[in-house]
Amino acid sequence: MNDIIEINPEKLGGTPVFAGTRVPIQNLFDYIEGGDTLEDFLEGFPPVSREQAIDVLELARKSLLAETAKNSRSCWTTIWIDALRTVLLLTKLRPHTNEAGPMSSMANCSRLQKPTVMQCY
């Protein structure tokens, strides 16, 4: 990352900048968020090369995808654990005989916790 982004307390108080420049990384995202093109950004900040800007965008993309995947795995793991707990609890509640009929195991269902509703991205 040192060849892409530089963080130095001596430069802009440690604000992340494009390596070898004093141009804050945030400027690139501000331009894009404002509807400007990469060309507009590069024209406004000549010390930054096209390769540097693309490298920063690629780094941001990879970071975002990795974080999303991590959160998604965590979310699905939680859902599967909740589902497994429910199945195990229902298995424990199931009667050992069919004397009472198929709904007899449902008498204790009030002990079940409501499933956790989660939104996975």
Q: What's the pLDDT score for residue 8?
A: 93
Domain boundaries, the chain: 5-111
In the numeric block, the tokens 């004093």 are attached to: 22
C-alpha–C-alpha distance, residues 5 and 9, integer Å = 13
How many CB atoms within 10 Å of residue 4? 17
Token digits for 97?
């005989």
Amino acid at 78: T
For 11-23, what is each residue's pLDDT tens digit? 999 999 999 999 9
Q: What's the pLDDT score for residue 63?
A: 86
Q: For the chain, how many residues are written?
A: 121
Q: What's the pLDDT score for residue 9?
A: 93
Helical axes 25-33 vs 50-93, angle rounded to 10°: 80
Q: What's the pLDDT score for residue 61?
A: 87
Q: Is the pTM of this model over 0.75?
A: no
Report the pLDDT averaged over residues 33-56: 94
Q: Which CATH class is domain 5-111?
A: mainly alpha
Query: Is a pLDDT exceeding 60 seen at residue 90?
Result: no
Say which residue, 111 or 41, is predicted with more confidence: 41
Q: Which of 24-28, 100-104, 109-113 has the highest mean pLDDT?
A: 24-28
Tell me the pLDDT of the chain averaged across its residues: 75
Q: What's the pLDDT score for residue 40?
A: 95
C-alpha–C-alpha distance, residues 82 and 117, integer Å = 10
